[in-house]
Amino acid sequence: MIETSTGQNPNGVKLEVMAISICMVINMLDGFDVLAIAFAAPGISSEWNLGPKDIGALLSSGLVGMGIGSLFLAPLADKFGRRIIILVCLMVISIGMLGSALAANFYQMSATRVFTGLGIGGMLASLNTIVSEYSSKKWRELAVSVMQTGYPIGATIGGVVAAYLVTFYDWRAIFYFGSLMSFIMIPFALKSLPEPKEFLREVKSKSKGILAIVSPELRARTFSLWVCFFMVMFTFYFLLSWTPKIMTGLGVGEVGAINSGVLMNVGGIIGAVILGYLASKFSPLKLIASYMVLCVVMMIGFGAIAENMNMLLIFVFLMGFFVFGSMIGLYTQVPAVYPAHIRNTGTGWAIGVGRLGAIFGPISAGMLMQAQWGRLELFTLLGLPLLISAFVIIRLKHQ
């Protein structure tokens, strides 16, 4: 039986398992919602006669909203509670997805994607925090890792669902589906996500606010987390955004490119679960740093392979294994850095700063490829942020 912060009785454990399961399902929906615009992009482009630049702007608009939500909506959970913010975010996402389905032009779609991103950004930080507070210290990394695998699972299943929907309906059905599923989760969250006792014990007696996470005693750890999230998301989103496209250029075709993206997500799911388990046995910081370094090795291997398609796919799987593990490993460490009364603020700002890396990573890759950089040089250079992050996170325990 897992010992948790809310007690060890069977009913308490049952409640915690249910709460963590609900959070994982919500995170699966977030994974679908984030990529909904990518699934719908071909239909939108055709109907509204949009070029690659416009589609790129739509893809980025959700990330902008997520960054704002992480920075300014997530910290409200330290004042009003994790549960209420999760419920509000579910409503925001549901309304935003419905708005996207009803959008009539590029500008309306951009606005609804930013609005949806606000909910997703606030949601991700709150889910991470509430799961960590429901879990015991021993199993916290595993619980957070399992919950975070909901994101790639949702993205993977979402691709299958989206393909079905656009075959029998049109691109709007993707957003209708996302809106409906988010709305359905509201009563489940309302029933199964009571406020964690660890938060309730602290919230009434301690001051809160953004300035608290950069106070003298927390400043070094906060800045270290910001560097790590920025660097890891830089490489993470480069790999997720460009690897399928690069595989297309290597001759696998459109279906093969989609399959390579799925393979990377599958590798990520497995890598994250294994990291969560190993983190309960070994030093989590050293383990996460090892994942980062090994991801760079896999990236160099992918860049160096010429025409052996089987080897390329193996490296795609391993890049997903280690880069998802690196990213989710960071999520598992934030709750240990901050006390409960500022934990969501710390998580939200770390993710928000990381979103800058998520934006700059794919853009940098596009610029380098336009400048005729080779695959080996490209993957080697854009793997360097992971080495920086590995160095910083190892030092985190000394701060």
Contact 155, 37 (CB under 8 A): no
| pLDDT score recorded for residue 30 | 80
Whether residues 13 and 141 share a domain: the answer is yes
Q: In this structure, what is the dihedral angle of CA atoms 279, 284, 286, 287, given to the nearest 10 degrees? A: 30
Contact 58, 106 (CB under 8 A): yes
Residue ranges of alpha helices (H) inside 193-279 are 197-203, 219-247, 253-279
Whether residues 257 and 366 share a domain: the answer is yes
Q: Give how many domains the chain has, as a whole number.
A: 2
Question: Domain boundary residue among 170, 205, 240?
Answer: 205
Whether residues 347 and 364 share a domain: the answer is yes
pLDDT at 178 > cutoff 50 = yes
pLDDT at 2 > cutoff 60 = no
Whether residues 151 and 298 share a domain: the answer is no
CATH code, domain with 119: 1.20.1250.20
| Burial readout 281-295 (b: 16 or more C-beta within 10 A, e: otherwise) | eeebbebbbbbbbbb
Whether residues 285 and 315 share a domain: the answer is yes
The amino acid that residue 194 corresponds to is P
Q: What is the pLDDT of residues 184-241, one digit of tens each?
A: 999 989 888 877 776 666 765 555 678 899 999 999 999 999 999 999 999 998 898 7
Higher pLDDT among residues 140 and 300, named by residue: 300
Question: Domain boundary residue among 174, 205, 236?
Answer: 205
Whether residues 248 and 163 share a domain: the answer is no
| pLDDT score recorded for residue 399 | 61
Structure tokens, 28 = 């699966």
Rounded Cα gap, residues 130 and 222, in angstroms = 20
Whether residues 167 and 294 share a domain: the answer is no
Among candidates 267, 241, 266, 246, which has minimal Cα distance to 257? 246
Whether residues 25 and 146 share a domain: the answer is yes
Whether residues 228 and 269 share a domain: the answer is yes
Among candidates 166, 164, 193, 157, which has minimal Cα distance to 33? 157
Question: Domain boundary residue among 157, 187, 205?
Answer: 205
Whether residues 185 and 265 share a domain: the answer is no
| Rounded mean pLDDT, 113-127 | 92
Whether residues 278 and 224 share a domain: the answer is yes
Whether residues 260 and 370 share a domain: the answer is yes
Q: Which of 50-54, 102-106, 295-299 has the lowest mean pLDDT?
A: 50-54
Contact 290, 195 (CB under 8 A): no
| pLDDT score recorded for residue 255 | 63
| Domain range enclosing 182 | 1-205
Contact 42, 167 (CB under 8 A): no
